[in-house]
Structure 1
Amino acid sequence: MKDVLDQDWHTADMAEVLKLSDEKTGLSSSEVQKRRDEFGTNTIPTGKKISLFDIIWHQFKSPLIYVLIAAGILSLVVGEYLDAGFVGLILLVNAGLGAFQEWRAETGAQSLQEMIKLKARVKRDGEWLEVNAEELVPGDLISLESGAQVPADARLIGINNLQVEEAMLTGESLPVQKTIEPGKEETANAGDKTNLVYAGTTVLTGRGTAVVIATGLKTEIGKIAHSLTENSGTQTPLIERMERFARMVSLLVLIAAALLGVIGWVRGMDMTEILFIAVAMAVSAIPEGLPIAMTVALSIGSQRMAKRNVIVRKLSAVEGLGSCTYILSDKTGTLTVDQQTARKIYLPGGQTLDVTGQGYNGDGDIENADPADEALQRFLRIATLANEGRLRRKGDDWEQQGDAVDIALLALPYKLGTSPDEVRQNTDIQREIPYESANKYSAVYYRRNNRLVFGAKGALEVFVDKVAEEERATINQAAEEMAAEGYRVLAMVYTITDDDKSDLPDSLHLAGLVGLIDPIRPEVKDAINECHRAGIKIAMVTGDHPLTALAIAREIHIGDSEDNLISGADLAKIEDDEAKLAETLTNKTVFARVSPEQKRLLVKAFQARNEFVAITGDGVNDAPALRQANIGVAMGSGTDVTRGAASIVVKDDNFASIAAGVEEGRFSYDNIRKIVYLLIATGIAEVLLVMLSTIFGLPKPLTAVQLLWLNVVTNGIQDVALAFEKGEPGAMLRKPRDPNEGIFDRQMISQTMVAGLVMTIVVFGLWVMWMNEGRDEVSSRSDILLIMVLLQNFHVFNCRSETESTFRVPLSNNYFLLGGVLLAQGVHIAAMHIPITQRLLETEPNPMNEWLLFFGYASVILVVIEVYKWILRRNRTPYLA
């Protein structure tokens, strides 16, 4: 039995299909049980649901966090309980912030399971029964009707005007008209198998009878569920960069600690003192405030994205979207408005009229149209009367009902200054013939000028043989030209008759052709151009017809010719040949009629080319590709499955929002670099202070608690404020950073070293001078601590831009920063006066004249970095571009 079910039921003839079941009685109860034992229930195994504990625990899975934990343990070992407490508090605050931002209901495979928890009408032992869908087995005979959800994959054996909405699986924007005829050739594309129905799809109109051919994991959504549970996704560049950074910090801490240990041993220090120095070194080198500041920066980025209709499910995706080098975008609803619109009318005699406006409303015009033209009036009359839809204005809104094409045609009378209701009221309708899938047309008999007129709307191939032979070539050519432009072409025909009994008279005349298309969103062109300027490649991945996809691609400058287009069928021929696939993808930007698995393979192929890939989607078919992608972008109107597999959700389904998200992601990454610049420059100065004082046999300029105060409290206030920095102009004018590039590039390294050395020279110079003068160590440390805080206060302004002068970055870009600097200085001044913090930090108050003197010492860093930036700009260093 299993071998039988593995065959291609799309191409099987009816006799072969009915071997699975008895058309008259269905399966027997005993056979049902036998097959259930063999195939299991019609359910989908789900992956483990992520709990709140899992999310909290995830916050601790970072090399930088591991280093902090190690430093805390070392502090406990040597009895520095206050240091350990500081580190513990940092870990808890960071975990709380991260968990709060990432707590979302995980719905991936769970939602797939819910999709098939429904009732099914099935024939067993000769009777129609209603059972839970999970009880279905291959071979069951099921009945489908309008509004029902398909309970399993099945082959149709009987239909009556059956239309099924399959966008969740195929990406098709229009319902699929079903047939029972065997397919002529094998295909991997579910959208091409019109004699099959799939679990989870919805019957829009009509009825059908079908034989179940697949249940559970064997269904199309079952295969998707299986791929979701297997694929855990990829990491963003930020995570990878921070992991490399944490490993580098860990290595440097170990090397420095070992070096100082050797120096201490040579100088005759005891082991306890050496351990204290190691703790001080670890505290100096580790940017304790970085995890919290980075979490805050990403949280702010996610809030700003939300204001631009981009919802972030995982914080790391904020920066990830800004790092993408390739966006594979769905067409329907993302690049287009997902509303069929009539855009072109062809009338007998060769006249072509363009139609403006879009969507299900009467906005727009029929350009250059003569309202008195009888040919145009006849065309609109037939389009309106042979129509089962409804479109009416209701206040400032439009109310519509019915088939998408019918509604699109009803918009045309409004664009000529009338309405469908007026057309109907002014027409003497004699008989209406509703649409039937077997006929592929709808029609109407009406009286005009005391004559009976037959008018019909439908597929051209139904009418063309009944049109005068001399007209056919012209009509076919006009239809082919419209189809080549990506339009869906419908024909309106008519004839004068004396008999209203015939459903389709033999002699017809063309009333006109109409070209319909799902138009692009108005803002999409600018968004795509902005992405191109930002160095991001854009491609379209859709289940729609290749010609339709190419027409849209041309209009929005994604693809210029058929050389940029490839169909799923052609892709299937080369997808197993990696070399051929890589060569083919070089110039392909439009992928049409692709299967769910092909979407995922495309993502993998581009990732193999070292692209950082973001892919959009809204249907279940998109979920595996979204999980495979570096950044999965789900549409807000899409399924729970897709949103569960995505890192980011776009509320308004608009590609322009994705471009806005990319910009915000780049701003967030820039802010993280600014935070790292601030913290590491301070860290370098602290490490050098500890090392130099040990090498020269001087007392420690700062205690471990004082170093933690600098790193966590005063610098911590400022780096969090720095996270609120608005984006600098030009973020979308530079190429994406190489995903393999570390957070430290040449520019970051050079500026950080210069800033760290300036701080070291100022502070260590004063420390040496004061020690040589015989000043009290405790009092001198208090002054050194104040100077370091002041240096941080000045340096945070340097960090606002890596290239621009501090004085050219408006304070209005971040009032929080000014407040943060004042708060950090105020907190430290308060700590110098409050008895408990005086004891903990070994601080004492300073008179105003000393504070002003130290203020002048600290301002040196602002002057030096300003000069340094000026030199870099003057020399136009390549990495500033």
Structure 2
Amino acid sequence: MSDPVHTRTPAPGLTAREVAERVARGEVNDVPVRSSRSTADIVRANVFTRFNAIIGVLFLIILVVGPIQDGLFGFVIVANTAIGIFQELRAKKTLDSLALIGEVRPTVRRDGAPVAVHTGQIVLGDLIELGPGDKCVVDGEVAEADGLEIDESLLTGEADPVLKRPGDPVMSGSFVVAGNGAFTATKVGRQAYAAQLAEEASRFTLVHSELRTGISQILKFVTWMMVPAALGLIISQLVVQGHDWREAVRRMVAGIVPMVPEGLVLLTSVAFAIGVIRLGRQQCLVQELPAIEGLARVDTVCLDKTGTLTEGGMDVSELRVLPGARADETYVRQVLGALGESDPRPNASLQAIIDAYPDGSGWRCTAALPFSSARKYSGAALDGPGAESGNWLLGAPDVLLPEGDTALTEIEQLNAQGLRVLLLARAARELDDPQVAQGAHPTALVVLEQRLRSDAADTLRYFAEQNVAAKVISGDNAVSVGAVAAKLALPGADAPVDARRLPAEREAMAEVLDRGAVFGRVTPQQKRDMVGALQSRGHTVAMTGDGVNDVLALKDADIGVSMGSGSEATRAVAQIVLLNNSFATLPSVVAEGRRVIGNITRVATLFLTKTVYSVLLAILVVCTRVPYPFLPRHLTLLSTLTIGVPAFFLALAPNKERAKPHFVRRVMRYAIPSGLIAGTATFVAYVLARAHYAGQDGALAAETSAATLTLFLVSLWVLAIIARPYTWWRVALVLAMGAGFLIVLLTPWLQRFFALRLVGDTMPWAAVGIAVAAAGVLELAWRWVSRRWPA
């Protein structure tokens, strides 16, 4: 409860001269707002990686021992890194431009007039105006307060709003939940509290993501395996096989390079960056890249009715003066007009009343009680014409009226039609009385008609088709919210739940939330509790909202989605901001998240299959003391045709499957058997070829060619499995990769370049037969894994 504060003459703020003097002294709020990494950070992050260093060293070794075609893998890394940098720079440009569009400009008072400025233009001593939903951008001291309540939970963790009076401190990062006022900036720039907390933070990040963490774990494991593998191979080729040191080094490099799934990291960065660009074209600002991954995992979306299912504006459809009100309609209209004039920053409901009853002349507001979503009403002390005066309340009828009041029956009927009803009541107590609503005498009902969003029904239908549960959570009357949801054909809208009857215990609340779809009279703290209860049941929750009462829930949800026209506080805590204020954008956002994560999970199997068969071949070569079957150029060719090129296309393809947890386990359960089968089949073909070509000139080249043919065909079949379900372009992609390898085998200069030469008819056809048998085993293995560990 807040104290009403009598109006006073506003302070003029700084003069233009004083502002100029402070700017000259450097007393400016110069903290840079970073919506993305800097260009230098992007280049550094893509170039100076652990695996680029490993591949770079191996590339330099090949440049020394030659020939250059064995160093093709180095050029592939350069190309991939360049693509990664280019795409992320495009994403940076998109993010920066959207952040500029979505930037809120606080209002400061200068030379007695309010002026909207960029946050970086605020100077020390500026008088900054505050209203509901505004964020405090610098530290300061309250100069004016009219029922000013500030939420500091984002800084202190304390959920209850703090009533502020002149002289009280204000911390940057807090936001206004009720009332109006102004504060004087006492700390700006890097001296401000929030700036100190965020000095090392950057909004644009790829960390704290299961996908990135899983890939990092895999790469760390591969790094540890590479050292003993390299030592074993070099000893095997140099000492046991007696190769000259150049040939031994080439064979060692050939065994090590394919173990590195270097393209997977770059492809992930590219997929995220392209996702940002695609969403940016739809005026969707992604403030944190992990949000794209989180959206792919969402199975429950909580929607605030106002501004999401309905448009922000409302219209007064009817004014009903209640029996025994001791007032006629003309008098009530004047009271409503005066109430509208008493609030300098009206919400949507009060704005509709102002539009309908603009004439409050002859009435004077002596004190005001700002609207609070926690108490569900506002108030004002009014002096009317002549001797008319009194304290008036305007708000939720079921909060202001006692249970069983006869007017509630009439109100329920209106709510059942989807109409919103406010009660105007004369208070019997002073506004600063915490029990001011008790004993209030009902005077009139203000019936408001809400404007449904034209795209809301289609959006809800999309979520239903995608098995995403939609929960409408609103502070309005439950019956009214249910009627609106029913018009949009939301399943479960016919059984709305009044949140005042929700159990406080989390498990019991979660059970009710799982069953229900529409909840009314929800307080801001309850919204937060409801998000937590859903999460306790294993749900991944997205929360949408635009009002200050949504901030706590947005902050706690797995993904917070704010409307661009929403309060500054909601935009500050949300990971996704819909700058076009269109709820219809949300399906595109969810679909983009699913596309990115689903496809990365899909193509990761390709990369890690290569890692597994490379490790197996290295072990088999060392144990059997035979020459390593491949040169680096062979595996570069195979990686390009069966992994690199197709993975890029598959990573950008449509994918509607909801992402599931346990990324590493899900990928490795297919990559391990695929890699083992591919490696085994290749080694069998190699051993048979060694026996077949024994004693012939160029035997090693012929043996390598047979093994390469087998490995390519098995890897191509892995690609064919990954590409399912088939579409024309997926089939064309697989066939094109096969045609590419065929061209290499049939073109003389490519044969010489890649050192591939199929000798005779027996062994090449035997290699094909081994590959066909391995493909059959692959099919059985994939089906067994799918049954044993269903997705």
- Fold shared by both chains (TM-score > 0.5): yes
Shift of 1:255: 3.0
* CA offset digits 1:701-746 (Å, max 9, x no partner): 2211111121134532232333354436xx34x8x414xx525556
Q: Secondary structure at the match of 1:231?
A: coil
Q: Secondary structure at the match of 1:338?
A: strand
- Structure 2 residue aligned with 1:842: 755
Shift of 1:243: 0.9
Q: 1:701 aligns with which of 623, 629, 637?
A: 629
Does residue 93 (structure 1) correspond to residue 80 (structure 2)? The answer is: yes
Partner amino acid, structure 1, of 2:629: P
Tell me if structure 2 keeps the 8 A contact 1:72–1:84: yes
- Structure 1 residue aligned with 2:214: 241
Unaligned runs of 5+ in 2: 155-162, 339-345, 368-378, 383-387, 397-403, 427-440, 514-518
Partner amino acid, structure 1, of 2:777: V
Q: Could you state the TM-score of these two structures normalised by the residue count of structure 2?
A: 0.66
Q: 1:764 aligns with which of 683, 686, 691?
A: 686
Q: 1:776 aligns with which of 698, 718, 724?
A: 698
Q: Secondary structure at the match of 2:32?
A: coil
**Residues 105-124 of structure 1 correspond to what in structure 2 (within 5 A)?**
105=93, 120-122=109-111
Partner amino acid, structure 1, of 2:77: I
Distance, in Å, in 2 between the alignment partners of 1:830 and 1:592 is 68
- Structure 2 residue aligned with 1:737: 661
- Percent identical across equivalent pairs? 20
Does residue 216 (structure 1) correspond to residue 188 (structure 2)? The answer is: yes
Range that drifts further, 237-246 or 609-618: 609-618
Tell me if structure 1 keeps the 8 A contact 2:683–2:707: no
Shift of 1:245: 1.3
Does residue 339 (structure 1) correspond to residue 313 (structure 2)? The answer is: yes
Partner amino acid, structure 2, of 1:196: G
Q: 2:225 aligns with which of 236, 252, 255?
A: 252
**Residues 252-291 of structure 1 correspond to what in structure 2 (within 5 A)?**
252-261=225-234, 263-264=236-237, 267=240, 269=242, 274-291=248-265
- Structure 2 residue aligned with 1:231: 201
Q: 2:717 aligns with which of 780, 790, 794?
A: 794
Tell me if structure 2 keeps the 8 A contact 1:279–1:704: yes
Shift of 1:316: 5.8
**Residues 517-528 of structure 1 correspond to what in structure 2 (within 5 A)?**
521-523=456-458, 525-526=460-461
The alignment yields a C-alpha RMSD, in angstroms, of: 6.8
Tell me if structure 1 keeps the 8 A contact 2:70–2:632: yes
Tell me if structure 1 keeps the 8 A contact 2:678–2:714: no
Q: 1:12–1:721: structure 2 CA closer, same or farther, 3 Å change rule? A: closer
* CA offset digits 1:543-564 (Å, max 9, x no partner): x9x5669985996779763365
Q: 2:447 aligns with which of 514, 520, 532?
A: 514
Partner amino acid, structure 1, of 2:686: F
Q: 2:736 aligns with which of 823, 829, 832?
A: 823
Distance, in Å, in 2 between the alignment partners of 1:305 and 1:23 is 43
Shift of 1:57: 1.9
Q: 1:343–1:868: structure 2 CA closer, same or farther, 3 Å change rule? A: farther
Q: Secondary structure at the match of 1:522?
A: helix
* CA offset digits 1:384-443 (Å, max 9, x no partner): 99889xxxxxxxxxxxxx9954775799xxxxxxxx9xxx9xxxx9x9848876698999
Partner amino acid, structure 2, of 1:254: V
Distance, in Å, in 2 between the alignment partners of 1:267 and 1:839 is 28
Q: 1:107–1:619: structure 2 CA closer, same or farther, 3 Å change rule? A: farther
Distance, in Å, in 1 between the alignment partners of 2:750 and 2:395 is 91
Q: 1:752–1:791: structure 2 CA closer, same or farther, 3 Å change rule? A: closer
Distance, in Å, in 2 between the alignment partners of 1:99 and 1:627 is 32
Does residue 561 (structure 1) correspond to residue 561 (structure 2)? The answer is: no
Tell me if structure 2 keeps the 8 A contact 1:612–1:630: yes
- Structure 2 residue aligned with 1:72: 59
Distance, in Å, in 2 between the alignment partners of 1:863 and 1:636 is 54
* CA offset digits 1:356-394 (Å, max 9, x no partner): xxxxxxxxxxxxxxxxxxxxxx98999899889xxxxxx
Q: Secondary structure at the match of 1:698?
A: coil
Shift of 1:799: 1.7
Distance, in Å, in 1 between the alignment partners of 2:761 and 2:582 is 57
Q: Could you state the TM-score of these two structures normalised by the residue count of structure 1?
A: 0.60
Q: 1:787–1:615: structure 2 CA closer, same or farther, 3 Å change rule? A: same
Shift of 1:856: 5.0
Q: 2:600 aligns with which of 672, 677, 681?
A: 672
Tell me if structure 2 keeps the 8 A contact 1:549–1:592: no
**Residues 338-357 of structure 1 correspond to what in structure 2 (within 5 A)?**
338-340=312-314
Partner amino acid, structure 1, of 2:110: R
Shift of 1:244: 0.9
Q: 1:477–1:712: structure 2 CA closer, same or farther, 3 Å change rule? A: same
Does residue 864 (structure 1) correspond to residue 787 (structure 2)? The answer is: no
Unaligned runs of 5+ in 1: 1-7, 171-178, 199-211, 351-377, 389-401, 412-419, 444-455, 465-471, 494-507, 567-579, 802-808
Q: Secondary structure at the match of 1:702?
A: coil
Q: Secondary structure at the match of 1:41?
A: coil
Tell me if structure 2 keeps the 8 A contact 1:614–1:631: yes
Q: 1:109–1:283: structure 2 CA closer, same or farther, 3 Å change rule? A: closer
- Structure 1 residue aligned with 2:650: 722
Range that drifts further, 687-696 or 303-312: 303-312
Distance, in Å, in 2 between the alignment partners of 1:77 and 1:382 is 92
Partner amino acid, structure 2, of 1:681: T
**Residues 686-697 of structure 1 correspond to what in structure 2 (within 5 A)?**
686-697=614-625
Partner amino acid, structure 2, of 1:770: H
Partner amino acid, structure 2, of 1:514: V
**Residues 594-613 of structure 1 correspond to what in structure 2 (within 5 A)?**
none
Q: Secondary structure at the match of 1:257?
A: helix
**Residues 510-589 of structure 1 correspond to what in structure 2 (within 5 A)?**
512-514=445-447, 521-523=456-458, 525-526=460-461, 533=467, 561-562=499-500
